[in-house]
Chain A
Amino acid sequence: MITKEELRLPIRSSIESDRHPLLTRRYTLITPMMESLISEIVQWIKNGVTGGIIEGDPRLGKTKCRRFVGLALPRHFPRLPVYSMIGRLYAHPSERVFFGDLLKAFRHSMYSEGSAAQRRDRLIEGVGGMVQSSGQEKVVLLIDQAHRLQEMHYDWLVDFHDELSERGIELFVFLFGQRELTSIRDELRRAGKTQIIGRFMVDRLEYHGIRSLSEMKACLTCYDDHARFPEDTDWTFTRYFLPEAFAKGWRLSQHVAAFWKAFEDVRQHGVMRGPMEIPMQHFVRTVERFLTEFRMEGSSPIVSHTQLVQFVAATIFAAIPRNAQLPDEDEDEEADK
């Protein structure tokens, strides 16, 4: 890993702006929620918890989190094989198709060949050989959209799990999905399918959005310090879009209160109730718009409450209607004072 001192700072114009991740929206912020989730999953693996549920509302960033888990787990367990699979909605569950999907998830080139039994044998043989070469004796499978899986799929996963354990391989299956997963677990429990719960639904974690000012600040700090493009340079996102302000010490995280208040105000006009929770998608879209559409005043950008509210409202945060009455500019200026 490159230390901060080793990072170089090439000329800004040499960086292709069209390919900037903030514009292409292909980047992942390592949020405090992700970090806590990683530490929890690491503990699960260490404690031999072979499966768990990670559930949350839509658009919270579960998929990005699942991708990050896939990258981060090998740092805690060197050479740990981690694979991801996206649960598909099957009109008619088929063992052949399911094991084909599993083979595809494990990146086997022959995922479409043969019968169900042949695919199962191929999968077990392949995973066995791969785990043997990794020297870990365990393999992690992350299933996204797991709420789409049906009971039969879990039964096949149990078979897969058992056959691997016969070979001395421990299979960890972490189910990422929406809150339906809890109800699925309850149904399975009522049906007496404890073999599924005992393997893949031992524990449960709730993935949540930004709930506090400190969490939001940590996320904004990512733009200031951690998110870079190109990765081996010191061009953080904030520095790239606001180079002069950044040079004078301006940071996004200094304005966390303004961002928080904008979200709070929009929320008051929305239909959502309950404790404050900002999904990551709405947050990052707001920050992206701010970094690309800011107005300068001197060498620093203007952090206008009205503008932030507009940005937040444009993300349809809190299911606010587009024609909702938002705070006007006068109120905004008063608020700034």
Chain B
Amino acid sequence: MNSDTISLPSINWRSGHPLRYESLWSVTHKLCWLNSIRAPSLLKHFGKNEAAIANFKKTWGVSRACLHDLRFTGALDGLSLSRAIRAPGVWMDWSCFDQIGDRQSVRRWTVPFLRFCPVCLEQGFHSILFQNVGQRECPVHRALLEDGCPKCGQYIPYSLPSSKTQPYSCECRRALWWGIRAENWDLPDAHIDKAGSLDKTIRALIEQWPPQPRSASNGAFAWVRHRSPQETHWLRQIDTIRGGGINAPKPVVVSRKWGFEFVSSPHFARPQDSVYGVVPINDSTLREGIFETYRRIERSIYRRFPVSNRKRWLAMTNRLRCFKDIGVMNWSPQFLAYLIWKSYWLDTCWGAFPRGHKMEKESVSHYRPQLSKVYWRYLQHARLLRPSGRFTTADEWAHLHFFSIVAMATYRAALELVGSVQLRCYPFRANRCRRLEKAILPVVMLAQNSVDSETYELRVWGRGARK
């Protein structure tokens, strides 16, 4: 035997890896660690050639930054990478979403930052399954998925390690897997079981989300249309709708103030201004508000889901999937805490509260009496559930659509008080919204019905562009 038979591999890699269903992110970060390289060097050795990348960009219309997105092979040459690390041929199929769905649909239901099971990550494992927004917990450990650095809470880009970051680490230099420094990466015994569990889940994922043509959404819309023509109208016109109204069967005094939460805030809905005083936003109405907002804003996701039958439909949530007729959004306890914190912060900005980011329990109890109890209760739960204190994807989504949710929650709460109502949608003219021109956010307000002076309207402004 001569020295040619035992030669240093062209790249450093550990035997026994990659693990089954290990994601491209995990493998490339390990590769970069072992070879002390970063993205440019990795692409130099395992990148597609310039012509291929140019063709890729032309085909997919993505920027160079997107080429580093590890949800797809992007600029990486998967074949040469698989050969170099001596990975089995099927590994590439399970390490990224190339084979699972078309790029645009995959980008809708996956997150561009790292989501991980903390227990798996402690063993140096990450699966693409965790990138699915519908995945709430690890199928092996039943641990809630995290999506932020345990130390700083920031998102970790799901991309190749840049020249400024260490592999398998956050930008704050917090290592996500300490074992990467070890001389040997021992494969845990539970790995086989892990692979088995993941196998089932990933297969279910693929079966559930096959790439479908646009016409596949007809089933969902047909069901919605059958159930509520008015809602269908809202669903279809949400981008252009500027407001809506309800005809209440009994008189409502006009509120002089407007705001995102006017009926629940003593500042915006003083008792003398409103017949109802304070409309309580409780768990139920808030849940409804979240659901309504979710359904209207993210309505386009309907086409991604098969409708099993007319009375049951599947809606994707950011945390888990529900098979209910209504009340789909499964919002996290943290979100509620966040919601209240956000309203507190806004009030602070507007000068209603003392400035400062620290929220005191007394302040919340005083200004948000309806929500203070649930806030503290859920905050405590959230801390127990999630030591990092990082908001989940659902929370982030809720953050994005915060005002719509509150508006919808208020709307629902008002409906509960008003009783039976008829929903009638119509656009408001610009001159009637003059005062709202300054408002940068969607608002809810009560106003006198211009058609019938005996009735009053609850106006809800959407996120549509104003003309």
Residues of A within 8 A of B (CB): 70-71, 74-75, 78-83, 106-110, 113-114, 117-119, 121-122, 125-130, 132-134, 167
Distance from A28 Cβ to chain B, minimum over Cβ atoms (Å): 13
Let me know if A125 and B3 touch, CB within 8 A: no
Q: Which of B7, B8, B37 has the most CB of A within 10 A?
A: B8
B30-71: CB near A (< 8 Å → 1, else 0) gives: 000011110001001100000000000000000000000000
| B367 within 8 A of partner (CB) | no
Compute how far the CA of A127 lies from the CA of B14 in the bound complex, rounded to whole angstroms: 12
Q: Which residues of B contact A122 (CB under 8 A)?
A: 12, 34-37
Let me know if A118 and B6 touch, CB within 8 A: no
Q: Return 8 A-B CB contacts under 8 Å, by A number.
A: A74-B1, A83-B3, A107-B7, A108-B9, A113-B37, A119-B36, A122-B34, A122-B37
**A118-B36, A122-B35 known; A110 vs B2 contact (CB < 8 Å):** no
Besides A108-B12, A110-B10, 17 other CB < 8 A contacts?
Answer: A78-B1, A81-B3, A81-B7, A82-B3, A109-B10, A113-B35, A113-B36, A114-B36, A118-B36, A122-B35, A122-B36, A129-B13, A129-B14, A129-B34, A130-B7, A132-B184, A133-B15
Compute how far the CA of A132 lies from the CA of B184 in the bound complex, rounded to whole angstroms: 10
Instruction: Among A82, A114, A167, point to the contact of B41 (Cβ < 8 A).
Output: A114
Distance from B165 Cβ to chain A, minimum over Cβ atoms (Å): 14
Least CB separation from A110: chain B residue = B35
Distance from B124 Cβ to chain A, minimum over Cβ atoms (Å): 15
Least CB separation from A83: chain B residue = B3
Compute how far the CA of A79 lies from the CA of B14 in the bound complex, rounded to whole angstroms: 18
Instruction: Among A109, A119, A134, point to the contact of B11 (Cβ < 8 A).
Output: A109
Compute how far the CA of A288 lies from the CA of B45 in the bound complex, rounded to whole angstroms: 45
Let me know if A121 and B36 touch, CB within 8 A: yes
Compute how far the CA of A132 lies from the CA of B12 in the bound complex, rounded to whole angstroms: 12
Let me know if B6 and A81 touch, CB within 8 A: yes
Q: Which residues of B contact A113 (CB under 8 A)?
A: 35-37, 41, 44
Q: Which residues of B contact A81 (CB under 8 A)?
A: 3, 6-8
| B183 within 8 A of partner (CB) | yes
Let me know if A167 and B183 touch, CB within 8 A: yes
Least CB separation from B38: chain A residue = A114
Q: Which of B2, B11, B15, B36 has the most CB of A within 10 A?
A: B36
Let me know if B1 and A130 touch, CB within 8 A: no
Compute how far the CA of A79 lies from the CA of B428 in the bound complex, rounded to whole angstroms: 83
Let me know if A74 and B8 touch, CB within 8 A: no
Q: Which residues of B contact A75 (CB under 8 A)?
A: 1
Least CB separation from A120: chain B residue = B36
Q: Which residues of B contact A70 (CB under 8 A)?
A: 2-3
Distance from B7 Cβ to chain A, minimum over Cβ atoms (Å): 5
Let me know if A125 and B34 touch, CB within 8 A: yes
**A113-B41, A121-B36 known; A130 vs B2 contact (CB < 8 Å):** no
Compute how far the CA of A129 lies from the CA of B12 in the bound complex, rounded to whole angstroms: 7
Q: Which residues of A contact B41 (CB under 8 A)?
A: 110, 113-114
Q: Which residues of B contact A107 (CB under 8 A)?
A: 7-8, 10
Instruction: Among A119, A127, A167, point to the contact of B8 (Cβ < 8 A).
Output: A127
Nearest 4 A-B pairs (CB), nearest first?
A: A118-B36, A109-B10, A106-B8, A113-B41
Least CB separation from A122: chain B residue = B36
Instruction: Among B3, B11, B14, B183, point to the contact of A110 (Cβ < 8 A).
Output: B11
Q: Which residues of A contact B13 (CB under 8 A)?
A: 129
Least CB separation from B41: chain A residue = A113
Least CB separation from A134: chain B residue = B6
Chain B binding surface SS class = loop
Let me know if A114 and B6 touch, CB within 8 A: no
Let me know if B2 and A71 touch, CB within 8 A: yes
Let me know if B10 and A130 touch, CB within 8 A: no
Compute how far the CA of A114 lies from the CA of B9 in the bound complex, rounded to whole angstroms: 18
Compute how far the CA of A80 lies from the CA of B35 in the bound complex, rounded to whole angstroms: 23
Distance from B406 Cβ to chain A, minimum over Cβ atoms (Å): 51
Distance from A122 Cβ to chain B, minimum over Cβ atoms (Å): 5
Let me know if B183 and A128 touch, CB within 8 A: yes
Q: Which residues of A contact B10 (CB under 8 A)?
A: 107-110
Instruction: Among A74, A133, A167, point to the contact of B2 (Cβ < 8 A).
Output: A74
Q: Which residues of A contact B1 (CB under 8 A)?
A: 74-75, 78-79
Q: Which residues of A contact B34 (CB under 8 A)?
A: 122, 125, 129
Least CB separation from B10: chain A residue = A109
Compute how far the CA of A110 lies from the CA of B35 in the bound complex, rounded to whole angstroms: 8
Compute how far the CA of A133 lies from the CA of B184 in the bound complex, rounded to whole angstroms: 12
Distance from B34 Cβ to chain A, minimum over Cβ atoms (Å): 5
Q: Which residues of B contact A132 (CB under 8 A)?
A: 184
Q: Which of B1, B6, B9 has the most CB of A within 10 A?
A: B6
Let me know if A126 and B3 touch, CB within 8 A: no
Compute how far the CA of A118 lies from the CA of B35 in the bound complex, rounded to whole angstroms: 8
Q: Which residues of B contact A108 (CB under 8 A)?
A: 8-12
Distance from B27 Cβ to chain A, minimum over Cβ atoms (Å): 16
Distance from A129 Cβ to chain B, minimum over Cβ atoms (Å): 6
Q: Which of A117, A118, A134 has the most CB of B within 10 A?
A: A118
Compute how far the CA of A125 lies from the CA of B33 in the bound complex, rounded to whole angstroms: 10
Q: Which of B12, B34, B45 has the most CB of A within 10 A?
A: B12
Instruction: Among B14, B15, B37, point to the contact of A118 (Cβ < 8 A).
Output: B37
Distance from B436 Cβ to chain A, minimum over Cβ atoms (Å): 57
Q: Which residues of B contact A79 (CB under 8 A)?
A: 1, 6
Compute how far the CA of A88 lies from the CA of B14 in the bound complex, rounded to whole angstroms: 32
Let me know if B14 and A130 touch, CB within 8 A: no
Compute how far the CA of A114 lies from the CA of B167 in the bound complex, rounded to whole angstroms: 15
Compute how far the CA of A86 lies from the CA of B11 in the bound complex, rounded to whole angstroms: 22
**A70-B2, A110-B41 known; A125 vs B7 contact (CB < 8 Å):** no
Task: Give residues 382-423 of B contacting A (CB, 8 Å).
Answer: none
Compute how far the CA of A78 lies from the CA of B34 in the bound complex, rounded to whole angstroms: 27
Distance from A337 Cβ to chain B, minimum over Cβ atoms (Å): 49
Compute how far the CA of A62 lies from the CA of B318 in the bound complex, rounded to whole angstroms: 70
**A78-B1, A82-B3, A118-B37 known; A110 vs B45 contact (CB < 8 Å):** yes
Compute how far the CA of A281 lies from the CA of B6 in the bound complex, rounded to whole angstroms: 31
Distance from B41 Cβ to chain A, minimum over Cβ atoms (Å): 4
Compute how far the CA of A110 lies from the CA of B44 in the bound complex, rounded to whole angstroms: 10
Least CB separation from B84: chain A residue = A109
